[in-house]
Structure 1
Amino acid sequence: AMVLLPLLYGCVYLVAFWNPYNNLSALPVAVVNQDQPVTASGEQVDVGNQLTTTLVNGKQFDWTVTDAGAATAGLDNGTYYMVLTIPSSTSADIASLATNQPKPAQLQLTTNNANSYLVSLIAEQASTQITQALTQQVDSQFAATTLSGLQTIRASLVKAASGAQALATGLDTANSGAAQLVTGTKEVAAGDQQLATVANDVRSGLSAAESDLKAAVAQAQSYAQSHPTDPIAQKIAQGLVALQAKFDGVVTKADTSIAAIDKLGAGSQRVATGMASLAAGITKLDAGAHELATGLQQGVEQIPTYTPAQQAAVAAMVANPVSVDDQTVNASASYGTGFAPYFMPLALWVGTLVAFMMFAPLPMRSRVSPYQSPFGAVVTGMTPMVIVGIAQVAVLSIVLRFFVGVHAVHPILVGGISLLISVVFLAIIQLLMVALGVAGRLVALVLLMLQLCSSGGTYPVALSPWFFKTISPFMPMTYAVDALRRTINGGELNSVVVDCLILAIFGIGAFSLTVLVTTYKRVITMSDLKPEITL
């Protein structure tokens, strides 16, 4: 047993504390969702419920959804080791990311050193999980909001594109009208040239008519001079016929001129038509330009504007959209103070075990005396040990308070509970030694080892392997550590009363069993007279 005891201690300790962070899924943690959903960009933002669902389904901790009152009570009595509170403004804060005044969400994670000191360190793991979960949600929300905004901008740009198409059509119409205008203008120019030519022809014809008319007059005069008789009338008639023919030519030229003038009028009409088409195209062009401008303006209005400071704020929030405010109630003043409730029962157990090396657990005279009952014999054996225990508690309390610096919230209760623990440990070790003799000391050492691994003095017992979680409620040190932790660090005292009652039951039970064993050990055998250890 002496050879295997160090091996047993080393192996059991390593197994118990091998990797408690692998068992965080068994650590009871409460989440209080007070968040109020909001509507942003036409979409509902419900960060609280989404985060709660993510945490519960993630199973990195044993999350329980509850209300604020139950969570606070559970944190006080040790039902929960941490409480996450999601404030009512969380969704509104996350939704502010889409504005030019973003505000990061702030959650609250509360621990209680009256339940465990190291759970404050474990809270960092919880903060990381919470931050990662909410950051993923915010990234998704930001992406959704951005895409929604892009869709809105796209709609405005589509409208602008429609205006641009109308503008292009108007330009085509205007271009066609302009081409018609050019053609008509050319035709007008050609008509003008023809009109000028006709005018010259008319002028030439008139000149010729004038010459012919003069010749006819000359002939008529000559005829009159040479033939003053009747035949002159014939000549006049012939002249008149010729004159009529000339005038017919004039008429023909006039008709040609009129035709040319008509052609010039048609060209002018085409110019007018082209101008009308051009005007219509320009009107359509103007409407398209207005539509384009309106669409582009609406698209611009959908794009938020940010100052450099606002840009930095948005970038910072996207990177860190949430902060977790870690709060600790009944906080330990120091690392040593946090572990004092663990080491004090250890010291009292070892102190009692060492004291029993100096004093017999049951004086032989009291054991065999017919004048002393088993009850009296056990009391006689306990009396000097109680005195030693009182001295041990006094010295331990004074040194811890004035030399080490452990400042308890309830120092008197700490002293009284320490004395109760000492007496209970005394009764248990006395029982082991009376019942088992020298082997009782080895059993006491093994029992100490099991208690150190299952009392929750370091990591919460919920993180321990199943064996230590199973035996924890049956170990007196579990209640000793809890009672001292709550009186040193502070916290609700109802649990302390329960702890003390359970410790008293352990002590009374051990004392009663010792009396019972003593009843059957009233006779001294030869083995009782032999040395406990021989070489």
Structure 2
Amino acid sequence: MKRIKHKYLMGGVLAAGLVLPVVCAGLVIHSFWDPFGQTAKLPVAVVNEDQPVTYQGKRMAVGEQVVSQLKNNHKLGWRFLSAKEAADGMKHNRYYTVVTIPKNFSQRATTVTDHHPQQMKLSYATNDSLNYIGEIISETGATQLNSAVKRAVTKAYALSMFQQIKASGQGFQTAAKGATQLKDGTVTLADGMNTYTTGVTKVKDGLLQLSTKVQQLPTGVNRLATGANKLATGLQTLQAKTQPLASGVAQLDSGAGRLASGSKRVTTGLQQLSAKTGPLAAGVQRLATGSGQVTDGLRQVSAKTQPLVDGVTKLDDGSAQVTAGLEKLNSKTGALASGVVQLADGSQALAVSTTQYVNGVYQVHTGLQALDTNGKTLAASVQALADGASGLSAQVSAGQSGINELSGSVKQLVTASTTGAAGLQAKGQQLQDQLKSDLTTLGTAIGGSSVAATKVATIQSELKQLDDTSTTASDDATAQAANKLKTAVAQIDSDSQSGDQSAGMTQSQIDAKVASVASATKMTADQKAAMTSALAGAGQTKPATSTSSAKTAVTTAANELVKASDAPATTETATASPQTVTRLKRAVADLADATSSSQGTTAAAALQKVLGDATALQTYFEQVTAAIGQQSAALSQLNGAVTGNDDSLVKKYANLVNGSQKLSAKLAEANGKVPAFTTGIGKLLAGSDQLASNGPALITGTAQLAAGTRQLNGQVPTLVTGVNDLTTGSKQVSGGLHQLTGQLPTLTGGVTRLVNGSLQVTNGLGLLNGQLPALTGGVGQLVVGSGQMTTGSQQLAGGLSQLNGRVPVLVAGVSQLANGGNQLSNGLHTLNQQAPQLVAGVGQLTTGSQQLAANSPKLTAGARQLKDGNGKLATALQGGADKVQATPLTSRTAAMFASPSELSHQRFSYVPNFGHAIAPFVVAMLTFLGLTALVAWFDYRRQLQTPRQLANLTGWVLLQSLITSAGMAVMLHAAQPWTFMGLTGLFALAVLVVELVLRLFMGRLAVLVVGALFFLQLCVANGIFPVQTVKTLYAPLAKFLPMTYANLGLTQALSGTGISPAVLTMGISAAVVIIALGIGLIGLKLMNPKNSMAGERQE
């Protein structure tokens, strides 16, 4: 029971060592997960005591604007309270900060343009004792608020200044216009001053004369007074007539304006007309040419109207025929529908036949594979036969010279007859089999046609008859005769030999050669037996016999061979085969005529193949007939040679030797052609493979054909309806053509009138073309005259405008003249009385005019300077106004004044919240604590004495670090989870080695060192604040602590930026050095039994 409790206790402790670091790390990170993302819940009080003011005619309430912006700002928990509520909340620790907007906030904003501007003061109070971090966040929020207020007020200032600048710009523009008017006035002043100086000079001269003549003034004044009375009377009359004069001048001015405007439009139109006269001449020329072409074309049209009439008449007749044909077609739609049904049934049968055809193709493909295999064997057999023929030639050449001709001729005849018969028979059988196969394929392909099927059956019966005939016409008689002749010749050979030794191969060699040839050439059992019987005893040694008996035997055998050879050529069997082939070819041609128009491409291809097979079979039988004739002639010649003297046999032996040599050459040639034959079989097999692979596609096509015919059968009612509609439309077309025929005379008359009218147009265009030069010249003169008239009318309008403008002055002047006349009359009476004083005054005036004349040059120079100065003033003012107006003074410009810079933030690596930021430190810290607890537990259990126990501890430490790092990698969605886990394991190994070394060499004092190491790393390697900001004496030790590199590496693996080479190199190097040194020290310690941990514990 105690052992069970101990076991459970061990398991519980180890499980706690594995699980607690993960749970603790998760709880710590979750508690610090995202404190800065929850600042909207941080309560900050805002007190707005600002009072709105009026600035430049507009209401300004900066405090209200700030509050409005803060209501849309969710970075802090803004609370808008009164001053009393804010103070109470601060007192009871409900708010971290109180921001106060004073009463004079807006008022001070308006003092920016005063002589003594006052700054706007935004105050805030903080409660540091509540939370220091909260106070820092609040201070940051107040600073940002102050910046926002600065931007808003600066923008308002800028907009106000922009309005003033715009108003100044408008004033500059007005001043520039006034200066321009001053410049124009000074010009007039200068002109007047010139006139004035001239007048002053004249006045001076006149006054000199006046001073001379004034003496006669009294008398003249008296007469002038009398005349003045008359003048007053006349001026009153003139005043009465000036008003009608003003009205007439105004009407004349209005008419002159309209005259100038109309003259200008006339001039513009004439200029456009003058510009278009050139293109008009060219266009009229082209129009005349085109009109002639139109006339010629209309004449051609007129000439073609009669053929048109005839064509329309024929079209009318043809339309009637079409209508009749459509009615007939409409009557046949029932039969068409029945035919479509039959076509659907036939396509279904074709689909079934196509399946059978594909099965046949597979069988052909199998046969071709067997043929390909046997072709390779045939090559070897032909090579063996060629070798045997070469040996035969050598043996024949070494034969006896006495019977060369007889023995060689017989051997040549027997060999040629046997080989030729076997080859021709095999070829005939192959052609017949091929024809049968193709006929079967053709019958499958055209199974839907009864006529074609009948033709195929006829061809098959002819082929069967041909097969029976060729089978019946065996070569037994020829073979027996040849065997007898062979025996007789062998007897002669034996008689001619000098000893008992055989002239050729042994019998066993001959039998083996026969068996090899029979196997290679696929002989039948009967053919093999016949050849074996014919060569039986050829290799045996026979006793000598008499020449006469051998000659008799040879003669008898030759006669039998001639008879056997001549027999097929004279019987019905020999002639039956060629005749049967001729009938077979004729039947194939009839089948082609029967199927060419109704079957598909597959049947046509099969039919062409059957026709080629029949032609090849006919060629074969012609070759057989020729070979039989040659064999008969050769046997007759042999018979004559045998029945003659013995010398002929000896002479023919040399021919036999030559024949054997030729046979060897031909066999060698055949041997050379065997690879081509094998290649052809391979190509045929490849084609058969292709044909077999396309079989499913053919079946699919026939199925689609059947589906198409069924669809066609379904569309037959639509076709019938369409034919009915077509018949109705044709009747309508026929009626329209009848109407068109009735209107043809009218068309002919219209074409004739059109030709006549075109002739008239062509003649008129010719006349117009002839008058165009005169028109162009007249238009040019009109343009010149119109321009002169426009100029004159404009001058007239200008003069009348000036006159009309002076009429009011004239009226006023006449009125003044009338009044002045009355005054003049009265004044003259006075003047008459004051004449003596006038004479004295004239003297003084003369003196003054002389002084004016002397100062006139100075006055002229001053007026000139005034004119120049006004010109410069107008130019400068206009330039200033243009610059002010060209400056963009918009709201965006004001925003630029308020906030001229923008802060751009780019992240090299991204850490979403504070939880992610402290996660690496928490993982490293709890890994450190977890492995420390495991080491302490193993030490307590006295399981640190052997290498196996140390390895067991290492495994548990690695497992604990991997569980912790894997859980945190999944929880934090690490970008590089494997790197995260690997770095944690490496850190755990490094710390484990350090603690083991400390425990081995320091015993229980190692606990204090490990605690100090943990505390040191907790202070300077926590990763919460940059190590540079930690103002302690031991801060530089951070670069030598494992947790520094663990924090940095885990952070980079967590954020996905990858571990930098420097950190990776330094961290791995430090870990490797620590682990290597630690393992070495542990090994040294364990090797010394006196320094074990157990011993230290006992002490």
Shorter-chain TM-score tier: 0.3 to 0.5
TM-score when normalising by structure 1: 0.46
Greater C-alpha radius of gyration: 2
Higher strand residue share? 1
Q: Please give the TM-score of this superposition, normalised by the length of structure 2.
A: 0.24
Q: Report the structure, 1 or 2, having the larger helix content.
A: 2
